[in-house]
Chain A
C-alpha cells in the first residue's frame, strides 16, 4: 500500500506529457515493457534488445543490451518484462528456453544477471510478481511454468499444466498468491503459487489456443483472455464457476490484451495476423471499438500502457520495426464513422429500424409502431464520458409489424394453379388470366392481361372488353391502375417502412371503388346498349363467336341473362364494319412519350381508344390493320418491369401466353433467367405440376431440356430383368421381344397392363376383353389374375 502511494505521487510530480511519436528500430520487436516511472521502455525481439527513454517529443536510445561479439541465442527474446518495483531489474524469455534476468545497475557493459536454462522449449512469457521483488514466473512451450527466486540459482517450484504449451502467465494484481496461465488447448488455469502439484481451478475459455490473459487492475475478480478464435472474453473469477461476463468479437486472432488504467471497462487488444491495428474496446459495447490506433504497417506484437495510472498514453511495438507512443486523443473513433442506422427483418416479416433520434423525430411522416408507445421507440443513451468526448449516440428503434396476410404468398400459389397458359385461343387465355388476377385482388395484373388481349388479338377482333365500361367513365379504372403503380414503387423506395397492417387494407380500398365503378359502368352500359350508338360501335366485329362473348361476359361481370343484348348489337355492327382503328393516334402518343415505362405506356394506349369511342361516330380513327408487333416494345418493357418488381410469375406467364408474338423481342438469356427463377419458385412451393407445365411450354432450349436431364427412364427387359439397350423392342440378352401382349402376342407399344401376381399382361383393351371371358391368366400360367 505504501508502494502504491509512492507511485501515484510519482505520477503527480513528473506529470507525463508527450505526443504521438515513433522511432525506427533495427529489427522487429516481439515485446515491450515500461519501467515503473514511465520514463523508459524496453524493446525486445529476436534480434533486438534495447532501452529507449521516453522524452517529450521523441524516443532516445539509452542502452543496447545485446552486447558481445557473438550474439548468443539467449538474446533472442520472445518476451520481456521490467520489474514494477525494482527499477534496475529486467527479465527476458528466450526462444531457446532460457530465462534471463538483467541488472541495469551493473557497472559492466554486459548487464546479464542470471540465466536459467530449465525449460526445454521456447519460453513464451515471463512475469514478475507485482509486489515481491525476487519472484519471477515463466511459462514455456513445453507445458511447464516455473517460479524462480532470484536469490537462488534454480527454480523454486515447477507447475505442470498438463495441457500443452503455456502462452501467458499473469500474477493477479490483488491476490498475492494467485496467478493465471493460459494454454494452447484453450484452457485457462488458476494456480496458487504455494501449491505446485495441482491447479486451483481450470476452465475452457476458448476454442483453440488462448494467447493472452490480463487481470483487471482494480477489480480483483476480472480476467480478460484473448484467443485464436478471435474473441476477447472477460471472466468473473469470484464465483465458483468462472463466468463469462463480456465477450468482444474481433476480426483476427487476439495476440495481446491489456486493461486500460483507470477505466473500468476499457481494454486494448492487438492481433497476431492480418490486422495491424490496435483497438481499445469498451467491453460493454462489444461490436464497435471505442478507439483505434492505425499507425503500424505490420502486425503489432507488444502493447503496454505507459503508466499504470494514466489512461492516455499507449506504447506499442511492431514487426514493422517501429516503436510508437500513441496519444489517446489522437486515436480514431470508429463510432464517428459508423452508420447509426440499422434495418433488420424478423423471421415473420417484422421490421426493426434504428436511426438517430433526430432523424426519426424530424420526419413526421414516419409513424413508429402504434402499439409500442410504452416500449418503442427505445432510446439508447451513452453516458457522456468525463474525460473522453465519446460520440454521443442516441438512437430510436422502431419496430413495424406486418400482418401475416400481406406477406403470405397465397396469391402466388393460387395464381400459379389457376392461370391457363395454353390450350385455348389467345384471347380466351388472357381473359381467363385477367379474371384469375382480379379475383385475387390484383387489379393491375388483371388490367395488364386485358391490355394484352387488346393489343395482340387479331386486329379485326379488337373488341376490348374494358373499353366497354370505359366509354363513359373510363378514366376511373385508369386512375385505379395509376394508383396501384405509384403505391408499388413507393413501397420499394421507402424501404417498406410502413408496411403495417394498413397497407393491405389500403390496397383493398383502392380496389373496391374501382371494381364497383366497373360494375356500375357495366350496368349502365347494358341498360343503354340498344340505343347508345357509342356502345354499339364498340362491338364492331361480326366475327365474334360465342367463346369471345363468353369471355367478355366474364370480363365485365355481367350476368348471363343479359347475354343476348350484345348479340343484337352484333348485327348493327356490320354496318360500321370497316371502321378504322386508331394506330396513328397511338403512334403519335407513343412518339410523344417515348420513355414511358411499360405500364404507363399501356395506360396511355388506352386513352386514344377511349377517346375514339367517345367521338367515334363523327370521326372514325381506326385503320383496319393494327400490327401486333407494334406493341412489342411496350410489352417488353412491361415484362421487364414485372420481373424487376419481383413478379416473375407474370413475366413468364405472359411470355408463354404470347408465345411467338413476343419471344423474339426479348433476348434468350433474360428469358432463360425468368424461366429458371419462376421454376425455382414453383418448386419451392411444391407446385410440381405447374412447374412441369412451364418447362414444357417454354421455348427456351435451356429450359426445355431440363426435363430431359433430370428424368431418366430405365427400361428393363420383362423376361430376363436386365436393362434393355435402347435399340428396338428386342432384348439383346435373351433375344426375345420385351413386353409382349399375352393375348395377341405382339409387342405392346402403348399402355401395358399386367397382373402383379404373375407378371403377365398386355394391351389394356385385350386384357379387358379377355377378363370378360376368363379369370385366368391369358398366358396360360394358371394364375387367377386380379386387376383393380
Chain B
C-alpha cells in the first residue's frame, strides 16, 4: 500500500482551473516548469498544451482550441474553423488560424487515408491527438474507426453502396403505415371490381387475418402501429429539442427541418429493429454529432448519404453502450450503475483525497453527475465543437470508448479538484452538473496520463 500522499504530478499548479476563460491564457504564459513529466508518453507530446512556443514547433501551443472553447453560443463552429483552415497556408502563425502542428497532423491523416490499405494503429495514433476540422477528414476517420468503412480502400465504394441500399430497404419496410401494408398484401384486383358496377350494394369482403384498425391482437399490424406511435411521438419531441442553439438542428430553415426528419427516421428505424431496447431519451444526443459530421462532409456524395451512414455508425457506437440504456440492467454488472461505480473506483485509485471528500465527506453520489456524463458520452457537458474533439479521442483509443470515457471523466474531476475540495455538497453538485468550460486538449492530456498511471 503506497503512501497516501498525492502524487507529485497532481500537485502542480497545472491542475487548478479558474472560472474565467481569459485567465487561462495568462496562466499559460507561465514558465513551463511542470512539463517534465510529459517526456514519458510520446503520444502526448503534441497535446502538451500549456507550454508557450518556446520549445520547437512540434510542441507548439494550439491557439485554435482557445478560440473554440469559449462558451458563447455556437452557430456553426465547424464552418468557422474550416474557413480558417483553408487560409492557413498564408498565415502561418495567426492567432485564430491553424498552427503548423495542425497542418502536419492534417497532412499525416490525409496521407494515411489515401493509402490503399489503412493502417489502423497508425490512424488511431494520429487521430487520438485530435482530428482537424476541415476537408471532411473527421467524417472519413470516424467511419473507419467505427468499422463502417473497411480498411481496404478499394472496397469502400461497394461497401457503401451495399449499406446504403440496406438502409433504404429498412426505411421502406418499417416506415410504412398499416393502410399501405394492407394494400400491398392484397394486390388482387380490387380496382377493376369497383369500375364494373356503377350502382347497387357494395360487395363486402372478408377481412384477412382479423386485421382491422381496432384490432387488439398482439400480432396485428394495426395494433403494433398504434403502439409504435407513442415511441414515434417521443422521438419527435426529443429530436425537436436537440441542440436548439444550433441552426443545423433547429430553426425554421428547411435545412433544419430535413435534418430533423433524418434524425427522426434513423431513430425510428433503430427502435423498430431493436425491440429490446427501443428508443430511450438521450439516444438523439448520441446520434446528433455523428449526423452533423457526416452531413457536413464537403464531398457531395458522402453528405447526401449522411443519413444511412449515420444509422450504421450509430448502431456501432451504441453497441458498446447499449446496456446503459436498458432499465432492467441498471443494477447488473453491465448496467449504468456498475459503470458509475467503476468510475468511482477509478477516482479512488488515482486521487484518494478527492474521492474521499466527494463521496464520503460531502456525500456527492456519483450518480448525480456521472449519469449524464456517461450515458450521453459527454455531449451535454461541453460545447459542440469540444465534444467533437473529445469524441475523436473516445473513438480512436485502442482501449475502447468506454475505458477512455471513464478516464476522461476522472480527468474532469481531477481538473477541478481544488474547487471540489473547497466546496460542500451544494456547490460541488452545482459545479459538476454545470461543468466549467476548459481547455479540451489539456483535459485529454490529463486523461491520457491516467492511463499510464497504474493504481497506487
Does B associate with A?
Answer: no
